[in-house]
């Protein structure tokens, strides 16, 4: 006789993958019901983590694989003296912890920037995915490459763009990513980053970040009120316009 899951188990696993609201977003590619059921079979938890808490800590040896269901997070590395480099920011639908789940120990940390919810997948089942569902294994590899491309873009900013271009490029990129997730309303979206987050991501001092931030605001690029950022003139310069008008395509969702 088939055993029905109890209510506690259903609550722990959160929204069924076939009913996931993220799958309705224009940001993501369609999947077959078979693929979605396979993903559901890998899911072991639906976890809530408060802002400021670590999702994965550096050196962790048992990190699982996650999809960010809601909220914002960031991936970082720290030096022994406490200095921190933010590698990239994570928004809903992003795959979290691929490196940490495949390596013997996490080489980075992931921190919740806001309160977040995470779909948790067993690291022990990743090999099953590669063996039994090659279409999904390709998407896992694709998502890993996408994360690398986001870091490449940020490294290009740090190496070649001036301070104003660095901040503007990050703001525009986050705006476009939020827009694809239907998180933008009337040209504004939740912007939980502090100036320290910007400084740590862009290789700037906090003082330089603050001065540049104020200059961009006075120039009319954006306004910030109540924790929401309004992008007023993303075409303020030709270089900013190129970033804003860059075409985006639907991506996989695990």
**What was the pLDDT predicted at 7?**
38
- With a cut of 60, say whether residue 183 has pLDDT above it: yes
Mean pLDDT of 109-127: 92
Q: Which of 50, 69, 183 is nearest to 113 (CA)?
A: 50
pLDDT digits 0-9 by tens, 236-246: 888 888 888 88
- With a cut of 50, say whether residue 18 has pLDDT above it: yes
Write phi, then psi, for 65 (nearest 5 degrees).
-105, 140
pLDDT digits 0-9 by tens, 96-108: 988 877 777 888 9
pTM of this structure: 0.89
Is residue 119 within 8 A of residue 56, CB to CB? The reply is no
Residue 164 binned pLDDT confidence (cut-offs 50, 70, 90):
very high
Instruction: Give me the count of residues in the chain.
Output: 254
Average pLDDT over all residues of the chain: 89
- For the chain, percent helix, then strand, then coil, each to nearest 5? 45, 20, 35
């Amino acid at each position: 006789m088939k055993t029905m899951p109890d209510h506690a188990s259903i609550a722990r696993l959160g929204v069924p993958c076939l009913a996931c609201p993220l799958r309705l977003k224009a940001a993501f590619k369609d999947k077959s019901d078979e693929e979605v059921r396979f993903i559901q079979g890998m899911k072991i938890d639906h976890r809530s983590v408060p802002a400021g808490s670590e999702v994965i800590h550096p050196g962790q040896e048992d990190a699982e694989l996650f999809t960010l269901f809601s909220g914002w997070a960031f991936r970082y590395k720290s030096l022994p003296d406490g200095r921190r480099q933010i590698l990239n920011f994570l928004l809903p639908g992003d795959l979290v912890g691929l490196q940490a789940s495949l390596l013997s120990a996490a080489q980075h940390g992931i921190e919740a920037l806001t309160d977040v919810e995470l779909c948790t997948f067993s690291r022990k089942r990743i090999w099953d995915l590669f063996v039994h569902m090659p279409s999904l294994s390709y998407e896992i590899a694709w998502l890993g490459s996408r994360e690398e491309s986001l870091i490449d873009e940020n490294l290009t900013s740090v190496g070649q763009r001036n301070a104003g271009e660095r901040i503007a490029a990050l703001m525009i990129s986050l705006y476009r990513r939020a827009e694809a997730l239907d998180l933008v309303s009337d040209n504004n979206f939740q912007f939980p980053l502090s100036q320290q987050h910007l400084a740590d991501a862009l290789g700037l001092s906090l003082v330089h970040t603050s001065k540049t931030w104020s200059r961009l605001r006075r120039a009319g690029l954006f306004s910030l009120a109540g924790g929401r950022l309004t992008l007023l003139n993303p075409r303020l310069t030709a270089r900013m316009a190129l970033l804003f008008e860059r075409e985006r395509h639907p991506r996989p969702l695990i």
